[in-house]
Amino acid sequence: MHSGGGSVKRLLAACGGALVICEAPAQAAPAIMPEVVVSATRSERDSADVPVAIDSVGERVIREDQPQVNLSESLNRVPGISVLNRQNYAQDVQISLRGFGARSTFGVRGIRLIADGIPATSPDGQAQASSFALGSAERIEVMRGPFASLYGNAAGGVIQVFTADGPREPTVSGSLYAGSYGTYKAGAQFGGQYRDLNYRLDLSRFHTNGYREHSSATRDLTNGKFKLPLATGIVTLVVNTLDQPEAQDPLGLTRAQVAANPRQVAATALTFNTRKSVRQNQAGLVYEFETDGRNQFQARVYGGDRQVTQYLAIPLSLPDGTLVQLAKTHSGGVVDLDRGYGGAGLRWTHALIEGERPVTVTSGIDYDRQAENRKGFLNNNGVVGELKRDERDVVSSTDVYAQVEWRMTERWSAAAGARHSRVKFDSQDYFIVPGTQNGDDSGAVTFVKTNPVAGLVYRITPAWNAYANIGRGFETPTFAELAYRPAGTGLNFALQPSTSLHKEVGVKGRLSSATRVNLALFHINTSNEIVVDSNTGGRTIFKNAPGTRREGMEASWDSRLGGGFEAYASYTRLNAEFTQSFVSSGNRVPAGSKLAGVPQHTLYGELVWRHARTGFHAGAEMRAAGRIYVDDRNSEAADAYVVTNLRAGLEQRGAAWRLTEFVRVDNITDRHYVGSVIVAETNRRFYEPAPGRNFLFGITATHEF
């Protein structure tokens, strides 16, 4: 990676091009730079000046002493969000934001994922985080609150990943990380500037044997970014490929099984050889240009394909003779998806009024479409059997939006906007068995919603801002949530979108140039919350609950303490509960019950010491989480826990090269705890145990030509 400007090069030359051991002059604690974000307004702003809760996680946090495989490594420091590494690469990480997405049994729900301006969330609100290339990420932005609704359906929050530009000089780097449970990651990057073309290419292979039995996985990932200035603007091409063959799924465990041996596998996982294969290819093109100083445009187009094959643990029949997979109306235990997707968007930003009281208007239109051939087959103890389901599912969304920013006075500024969304689902059934209940289950449904948002910022002092916002959001069911009816075959079109009203107040400020503090209080009421009704053998049925309430607090403190010390802490309190009783799986869920999968408290703390003269650093991390209920009746819960991690690294630099080495020990006290839960698992295998004490070593070498 390029080391920076001419003053750095002169310093390296003065050291003879060898190891940098020059004594740096004593300095006061370095200032924390302003946090630049774009998610809130779609243009660069200091995060303190926008009326939303938003955090930007920088390149050093993402990469330093980390394997750069899962979002859980760097985002658990952000208040308001919970990212759980399930130790199960067949199901991906489990992400919830202010409680949205907590019900997901696989993939990501209720949160919009975006990479370099290209949606990683499909029009129905379903997303996967496994295609994010963290090794080449420059920063990750996490936005909470109602302004996320300006990104469309299922935006309980927004997570955006931005790939770094290539360095100014041709640079090549290689990395190798290895650790416990047969885990390793090998990566290579190449980037630079060739005439006008800026480029960066990142390739990696990750493999693990898994903490638990039957949980091995291999993931090959490629991410490329190519940026070219034209006479009228800048065009950026982003390409991404993911190949994850046969990631094993150990399923969840009961509480008794966790106590007996947390590394064991559910017996049915071995019987049916539960596993998942994923292959994805995607490309996106973004063109940005100006017509004059007051008008800016961005056009984007993208497309890709994704193939998924998943083997589920569903019995052919029960001991009493009841047919399960063998029933005429059952869709089988092997899911085969062949998905094509794409979309386009156009955005216009206009400086309506310039000067000391500027008014800026941003408007745009987005169209996204996904077409999926979905088949189901019998799972004959791990072997594909006869066809049980055959349909083509298409979902498309057409959205228009507008947003206004106005600096009203020296102290007051405002932002407001609205998004009109039209999401259409269409399913064509090709598996029809005459004379049975398995008839033609084709159908279509369209959901339409307009969501307004507004916010104010008040500059209390030059160092402190207060803000407030309010807005509405909505979340349609995904095709995966529509996939099964409580009885019979076909899509569950009785499932309705949830709607929500968000209110938030907060303060952002600096106690000094070296210390930044953020605080947010929020209240969210939701109607028709989509919840899990039953979850058996990968066949999850959903229903609507009448109402929920989420209220809580998020706080963070970031400081450079001097003497080479840095400290960071964040805390989230979230009370998420049902406001009305309802019946789920034949059981009454009383009002006041807590939402499943949502910890009420999370706390993160980090202390790092850096010795600039030698390039050495060492750090300690602590994460605490409250108990997590496993179902909406709150019949059981994963216990609260506290884990501590230690890490240390060393950096050496020469005139054109750099070496970094690190070692980290996670869960240093060897604490036995449950890292995540499978919500409403019918067989009561709710729990996914987290690893005990484990180690990771890494080395990266970089050379600039």
Burial class (CB in 10 A: 0-12, 13-18, 19+), 303: middle
Q: Per the structure, how many domains does the chain have?
A: 1
C-alpha 641 chain-centroid distance: 23
Q: What is the pLDDT of residues 144-155, one digit of tens each?
A: 999 999 999 887
Q: What is the mean pLDDT of the chain?
A: 91
Q: Does a structural domain hold residue 262?
A: yes
* Most confident by average pLDDT, 81-90, 511-520, 530-539: 511-520
Bridge partners of residue 587, in order along the sequence: 584
The tokens for 147 are 């302004």
Report the 10 Å Cβ neighbour count for 172. Answer: 16
* Residues 6+ positions from 133 with CB-CB distance below 8 Å: 163, 202, 204, 221, 222, 223, 240
Alpha-carbon torsion (529, 94, 626, 214), positive or negative: positive
The tokens for 654 are 């020469």
Q: What angle do CA 424, 110, 34 make, to 5 degrees?
A: 120
Q: What is the 3-state secondary structure (H, E, C) of 80-148?
A: CEEEECCCCCCCCCEEEECCECCCCCCCEECCEEEECCEECECCCCEECCCCCCHHHEEEEEEEECHHH
Q: Are 307 and 313 in contact (CB under 8 A)?
A: no
Mean pLDDT of the 71-78 span: 95
Q: Are 376 and 131 in contact (CB under 8 A)?
A: no
Q: Where are the beta strands (DSSP E) in 273-411?
A: 275-292, 295-311, 334-353, 359-380, 383-406
Give the model's confidence band at 611: pLDDT under 50 very low, under 70 low, under 90 confident, else very high: very high
Side chain identity at residue 386, one-letter code: E
pLDDT at 463 over 50: yes
Tell me which DSSP letter residue 594 carries: B
Burial class (CB in 10 A: 0-12, 13-18, 19+), 150: buried
Side chain identity at residue 99, one-letter code: G
DSSP state letters, 164-191: PPPPSS-EEEEEEEEETTTEEEEEEEEE
pLDDT at 698 over 50: yes
Q: What angle do CA 49, 50, 51 make, to 5 degrees?
A: 125
pLDDT at 284 over 50: yes
What is the per-residue pLDDT for 5? 40
Bridge partners of residue 160, in order along the sequence: 114, 141
What is the per-residue pLDDT for 192? 97
Q: What is the pLDDT of residues 123-143, one digit of tens each?
A: 998 888 999 999 999 999 999
Cα 218 to Cα 235: distance, rounded to the nearest angstrom: 33
Which run of H or E residues covers position 515? Answer: strand 515-536
What is the per-residue pLDDT for 8? 32
pLDDT at 205 over 90: yes
Q: What is the pLDDT of residues 394-439, one digit of tens each?
A: 999 999 999 999 999 999 999 999 999 999 999 999 998 877 767 8
Give the model's confidence band at 283: pLDDT under 50 very low, under 70 low, under 90 confident, else very high: very high
- State percent of the chain over pLDDT 70: 95
pLDDT at 20 over 80: no
What is the per-residue pLDDT for 481? 86
DSSP state letters, 351-378: EEE-SSS-EEEEEEEEEEEEEEEEEEEE
pLDDT at 239 over 60: yes
- State percent of the chain over pLDDT 90: 79
Q: Does a structural domain hold residue 369?
A: yes
* Residues 6+ positions from 4 with CB-CB distance below 8 Å: none
Out of 223-232, 477-486, 575-584, pick the least confident.
477-486
Q: Which of 532, 486, 536, 531 is nearest to 683 (CA)?
A: 536
- H helix count then E strand count, the chain: 6, 39
Tell me which DSSP letter residue 681 carries: B
What is the per-residue pLDDT for 6? 42
What is the per-residue pLDDT for 95? 93
Out of 210-219, 316-325, 354-363, 443-452, pick the least confident.
316-325
* Residues 6+ positions from 616 with CB-CB distance below 8 Å: 610, 648, 649, 650, 651
Residues of the chain by 3-state class (helix, strand, coil), percent to 5: 5, 60, 35
Q: Does a structural domain hold residue 545?
A: yes
Q: Does a structural domain hold residue 1?
A: no
What is the per-residue pLDDT for 426? 94
pLDDT at 13 over 60: no
What is the per-residue pLDDT for 488? 65
Q: Are 160 and 42 in contact (CB under 8 A)?
A: no
What is the per-residue pLDDT for 538? 56
What is the per-residue pLDDT for 680? 86
Q: What is the 3-state secondary structure (H, E, C) of 616-662?
A: EEEEEEEEEECCEECCCCCCCEECCEEEEEEEEEEEEECCCEEEEEE
Alpha-carbon torsion (162, 504, 359, 298), positive or negative: positive
User: What Cα–Cα distance (Å) separates residue 548 from each residue in 26, 110, 542, 677, 696?
Assistant: 55, 15, 16, 20, 41
Q: Are 47 and 141 in contact (CB under 8 A)?
A: no
Structural domain range at position 666: 6-704
**pTM (predicted TM-score):** 0.92
Cα 344 to Cα 303: distance, rounded to the nearest angstrom: 9
Q: Are 19 and 653 in contact (CB under 8 A)?
A: yes
Tell me the CATH number at 606.
2.40.170.20
Out of 490-494, 526-530, 561-565, 570-574, pick the least confident.
490-494
What is the per-residue pLDDT for 673? 96
Q: What is the pLDDT of residues 147-187, one digit of tens each?
A: 999 999 887 899 999 999 999 999 999 999 999 999 999 99
pLDDT at 642 over 80: yes
Q: What is the pLDDT of residues 348-392, one digit of tens each?
A: 999 999 988 999 999 999 999 999 999 999 999 999 999 999 999
Which run of H or E residues covers position 512? Answer: strand 498-512
What is the per-residue pLDDT for 14? 36
Cα 697 to Cα 183: distance, rounded to the nearest angstrom: 10
